[in-house]
Structures are given as structure tokens and as C-alpha cells.
Amino acid sequence: MDDWAEENGGVAHCTQRSKFVLGDTIEALQPDGTVTPLTPAWIENEEGQRVEGTPHPMMHYTIPCATPLMPYTLLRARGKGTGEGPAEG
């Protein structure tokens, strides 16, 4: 996560490391040990266009996030970028 801003009820500006798609739950791993699950309602690319996922390495994107996130927060995809949750077993 590059930074968090209060605009529009809270947004996180991010650089892609783990692919995810709309419907996936991701986890915000904050430096203080807090883990916050997020299921973004939308994803915007660098041009401000709504997209279905984050398929490109180092892609810059924005997601809604009402919870303030600390600097150096990592976002971890729980699913496999398929729109499904974590694999069982």
C-alpha cells in the first residue's frame, strides 16, 4: 500500500504485488500486527478507470478502504485471483 487518504470515505493507493479480482477478500497486514480483511467494492487503475482485477506486475491502483491504514501496510490476496476465497484442505 503506497498511501491511505480520507478522500471519498477512505481509499488506499497501491502498487500490485499479488493479483486479485473483484469479489476476492484481501488482508491488510499493518506494521502494528493488525490484520484487516477487505473486500473492495471497486478497483480503479492509474487512469481512474474501473477494472475487474489487478493483473499486471507493479500496476498502480486504488481501492475503497474506510479503515485508515498505516504506512508500510502490506496487502495480501487470500484467494488465487479467481474471485474465490482461500483454498481448503
User: Using one digit for the tens of pLDDT, what is the confidence trace for 22-78?
Assistant: 999 999 999 999 999 999 999 999 999 999 999 888 999 999 999 999 989 999 987
DSSP secondary structure string for all residues of 19-30: --BTT--EEEE-
Cβ(26)–Cβ(77) under 8 Å?
yes
Query: What pLDDT band is residue 88 in, cutting at 50, 70 and 90?
Result: very low
pLDDT of amino acid 35:
95
Q: How many residues does the chain have?
A: 89
- Between CA 37 and CA 27 the distance in angstroms is 4
What type of residue is 71? P
pLDDT of amino acid 56:
87
Q: What are phi and psi of 9, to 5 degrees?
A: 85, 5
